């Protein structure tokens, strides 16, 4: 893949899963600092809710372009789904959210196997709410799924450590 070979991406996903499994379940905790781009302040359960939604969403999007689609993106409805998952995560059961994230990681690992024989160098459009970019399918897999998962695992680690440092 353009941003790394499938074996490397698979290894990164497995490492992210291992890190996630090592994070103790301690409930929502306090919101973290505001996201510089969105201003959102998420608790641990917001992160899990979003991750549980984003993995199957982006896996389905990538499968669509692997099957011949020309573009990938959320659109307005997709952003509403994203927000609903974040909001629901805040009131969700941590064990259920973690199980859904684990299923999403399984789906991502399957996608990486499927993509191995595909033309992941093919360029497709990424359509955001305000921007459109052209990017290879491999780059989209790396950025929208693998790196995205890694960043949310890191965010969860930081939020959990902050709670533990505060005596939780």
Query: Nearest 5°: phi and psi at 133?
Result: -130, 155
How much is the pLDDT for 148? 96
Digit-by-digit pLDDT tens for the chain (168 residues) are 445 587 899 999 999 999 999 999 999 999 999 988 889 999 999 999 999 999 999 999 999 999 999 999 998 888 899 999 999 999 999 999 999 999 999 999 999 999 987 788 999 999 988 889 999 999 999 999 999 999 999 999 999 987 766 554
How much is the pLDDT for 23? 97
What are 114's two structure tokens?
Answer: 């499927």
How much is the pLDDT for 4? 59
How much is the pLDDT for 2? 40
Q: Where are the alpha helices (DSSP H) in the chain?
A: 6-21, 44-66, 75-90, 94-115, 137-140, 148-165
pTM above 0.95, yes or no: no
Torsion of CA 79, 84, 89, 93, to 10 degrees: -140
**43 near 90, Cβ under 8 Å?**
yes
**To 10 degrees, what angle do helices 44-66 and 75-90 make?**
150
Indicate the CATH number for domain 6-165.
1.20.120.450
**Beta bridge partner(s), residue 46:** none
How much is the pLDDT for 166? 58
């Amino acid at each position: 893949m353009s941003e790394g070979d499938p074996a490397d991406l698979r290894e990164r996903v497995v490492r992210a899963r291992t890190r996630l499994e090592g994070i103790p379940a301690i409930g929502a905790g306090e919101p973290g600092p505001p996201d510089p781009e969105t201003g959102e302040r998420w608790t641990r359960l917001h992160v899990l809710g979003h991750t549980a939604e984003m993995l199957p969403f982006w896996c389905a999007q990538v499968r669509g372009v692997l099957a011949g689609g020309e573009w990938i993106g959320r659109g307005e409805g997709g952003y509403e789904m994203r927000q609903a998952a974040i909001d629901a995560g805040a009131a969700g059961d941590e064990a259920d959210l973690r199980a859904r994230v684990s299923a999403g990681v399984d789906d991502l690992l399957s996608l990486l196997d499927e993509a191995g024989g595909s033309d992941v160098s093919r360029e497709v459009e990424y359509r955001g709410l305000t921007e459109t970019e052209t990017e290879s399918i491999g780059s989209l897999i790396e950025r929208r799924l693998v790196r995205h998962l890694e960043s949310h695992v890191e965010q969860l680690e930081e939020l959990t450590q902050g709670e533990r440092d505060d005596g939780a």
